[in-house]
Amino acid sequence: MKNFTTVNDIGDLHSAVKEALEIKADRFAYTDLGRNKTLLMVFFNSSLRTRLSTQKAAMNLGMNVIVLDVNQGAWKLETERGVIMDGDKAEHLLEAIPVMGCYCDVIGVRSFAGLKNRDEDYEERVINQFIKYSGRPVFSMEAATRHPLQSFADLITIEEFKEVERPKIVMTWAPHPKALPQAVPNSFAEWMNATDYDFVITHPHGYELDPKFVGNARVEYDQRKALEGADFVYAKNWSAYQAPDYGKVLSTDRNWTVDTEKMALTNHAFFMHCLPVRRNMIVTDDVIESPRSIVIPEAANREISAQTVLKRILESL
């Protein structure tokens, strides 16, 4: 695997999950693979899980790891070509990226959507510049439109916990006070559509996602109806995708919060969320603390998805 930014880069999902579960059973089986190889993790945005799980995954493979928080201690970076750099940005990404590539063998990048200009966000300008100019394999640690390491971990988790062969998965929008990107729901939809699961998306009017990601999923605007018979409930907030409201918060209606009464409509479903989560906005305390909440095993599988991806990249060097 050269780069990892979408579900298409991982190939057959059955093989990928099988490999991930083998790695999970013996995560130090490949400690020689990354010997004398360096991973550079570049963060344009904050992180807890991605930072820790990806570093741990790289260490499991014997790699050295460098972490760069672009907004803390590095020169402020200009990302647009043609800008007269007479402001506070001292360095251009077009020099910074190839320089970063000199010091490592693999690069992970986290760069969220700005939520101001949909075309710019959906062009994935930052991570695509890393792919073009770094000279190194690049993987997404959440880009503007996708979060594939999260979705891969979500898939591994569903495969571990599912109690029926073809579970019903419901991704539900839930309220949040701030505008969040569509990367996690886009990506989750993309990965679920690549399985044979029964996949349903529910959200208020105005929160329609890019049809490219919705694919063949059923969209149901009545959350309660969508949740009926669900085996897994995947809660997430996102801001509006459709113009002219792109990037806006259209609703903070707490009638969409996942609570015990909503979970009672399901087939004794497992509750999932990528974290971090706003309690009693997205989900009530009792649901996230219930025995059917699998948010912690889901987060733990971030180490496994990252290690599987890094292993494949190292094998291709």
DSSP reduced 3-state for 147: coil
CB of 11 to ligand CP, least distance (A): 23
- Please pick, from the candidates 78, 105, 121, 142, the single residue that binds ligand CP as defined by CB under 6 A: 142
Which helix or strand (DSSP H or E) is residue 16 part of? helix 13-25
Residue 190 in contact with ligand CP, rule: CB under 6 A = no
- Please pick, from the candidates 1, 275, 281, 300, the single residue that binds ligand CP as defined by CB under 6 A: 275
- Please pick, from the candidates 47, 79, 242, 267, the single residue that binds ligand CP as defined by CB under 6 A: 47
Residue 90 in contact with ligand CP, rule: CB under 6 A = no
Residue 56 in contact with ligand CP, rule: CB under 6 A = no
Are 271 and 294 in contact, with CB atoms under 8 Å apart? yes
Are 126 and 93 in contact, with CB atoms under 8 Å apart? yes
Residue 236 in contact with ligand CP, rule: CB under 6 A = no
Residue 150 in contact with ligand CP, rule: CB under 6 A = yes
CB of 289 to ligand CP, least distance (A): 19
Q: Which stretch binds ligand CP (CB under 6 A): 33-41, 170-178, 259-267, 273-281?
A: 273-281
Q: What is the DSSP letter of 136?
A: S
Q: How many residues does the chain have?
A: 317
CB of 43 to ligand CP, least distance (A): 9
Q: Distance (Å, rounded) from C-alpha 103 to C-alpha 107? A: 10
CB of 172 to ligand CP, least distance (A): 17
Which helix or strand (DSSP H or E) is residue 13 part of? helix 13-25
Q: Which stretch binds ligand CP (CB under 6 A): 27-35, 43-51, 93-101, 198-206?
A: 43-51
CB of 27 to ligand CP, least distance (A): 20
CB of 232 to ligand CP, least distance (A): 17
- Please pick, from the candidates 16, 144, 274, 294, the single residue that binds ligand CP as defined by CB under 6 A: 274
Identify the CA nearest to 58 among candidates 274, 298, 301, 303.
303
Closer by beta carbon to ligand CP, 70 or else 226: 70
- ∠ Cα 185 190 194 (to 5°): 145
Residue 50 in contact with ligand CP, rule: CB under 6 A = yes
Identify the CA nearest to 180 among candidates 212, 140, 207, 202.
207
Q: How many CB atoms lie within 10 A of CB 82?
A: 5
CB of 285 to ligand CP, least distance (A): 20
For helices 183-193 and 148-161, angle between their N-to-C axes, nearest 10 degrees: 50
Residue 49 in contact with ligand CP, rule: CB under 6 A = yes
Residue found by looking up tokens 């979500």 in the block: 154
Alpha helices, H only, 36-168: 49-60, 93-102, 118-122, 125-133, 148-161
Residues at the site binding ligand CP, with contacts judged by CB under 6 A: 47-50, 142, 150, 274-276
